[in-house]
Amino acid sequence: MQQTPPKNPRPVFNTIFAFPPNRDTMGGTSYFILENLGNILIDCPVWDEPNRSFLQQHGVRWLFLTHRTAIANVKEIQQTLNCQILIQEQEAYLLPGIEVSRFQHDFTLSPTSQAIWTPGHTPGSSCLYHCDQGGVLFTGRHLLPNQQGNPVPLRIGKTFHWRRQLNSVQYLRDRFSPETLHYLCPGANTGFLRGQRYIDRAYERLAALDLDTYLEQKPEL
């Protein structure tokens, strides 16, 4: 049987790339940001030769992990790329024997990129905000596209704390504005974007969420 050739990272914007979904992270999508002061890898891509070559060619200063499910081959990635690992302090214990940088609420990776703690999906669930392109928020699994391509919080059986997750959505709405948040890049369910690779009108769509209705949402299997 003929094997499907590996897919290369695809551009989302000129300086942002998306990797194909990774089975080792439950179909998670990893992203890569080209930065003047050091490039940022968001979550763990498939650790195969095409992705290794791409990342070695460009170099990586930071591997930022948005939540525990995004962890795969971290030790190998760090050894190969000689990068720093950043994770919210409540989930750092999941990386024993690996040198990591921990943060509590916020962490500035560069003048244009900042990690933000958004607990709920997991205790250490976090997003990364990148201020280029009018503002891009990499949401991990904190906010995912539904079948209509709209960003929503998704309650599953393993959700750590549903009310805290909804509070984290409200925190993002309070923190940003239509002028500072144009796009979302989710960490999963990217097939619902139908090739667009990002969610546009990000703040408008977040503002339209009725969070009181979501309080009664039952977990999805």
Mean pLDDT of each 10-residue bin along the chain, 221 residues long:
64 96 95 96 97 96 97 96 97 95 97 97 98 97 94 92 96 97 95 88 96 82 53
d(CA 124, CA 3): 37
Q: What is the pLDDT of residue 185?
A: 97
Q: What is the pLDDT of residue 2?
A: 45
Q: What is the pLDDT of residue 5?
A: 55
Give the domain ranges of the chain.
10-214
Residues 76-81: contacts with CB under 8 Å, at least 24 apart = 76/47, 77/41, 77/44, 77/47, 80/52, 80/55, 80/56, 81/41, 81/55, 81/56
Q: What is the pLDDT of residue 221?
A: 53
Q: What is the pLDDT of residue 4?
A: 52
Q: What is the DSSP letter of 199?
A: B
Tokens 């596209």 belong to 145
Q: Which fold has domain 10-214?
A: Metallo-beta-lactamase; Chain A (3.60.15)
Backbone φ and ψ for 68, nearest 5 degrees, come out as: -65, -35
Element (H, E) at 107: strand 106-110
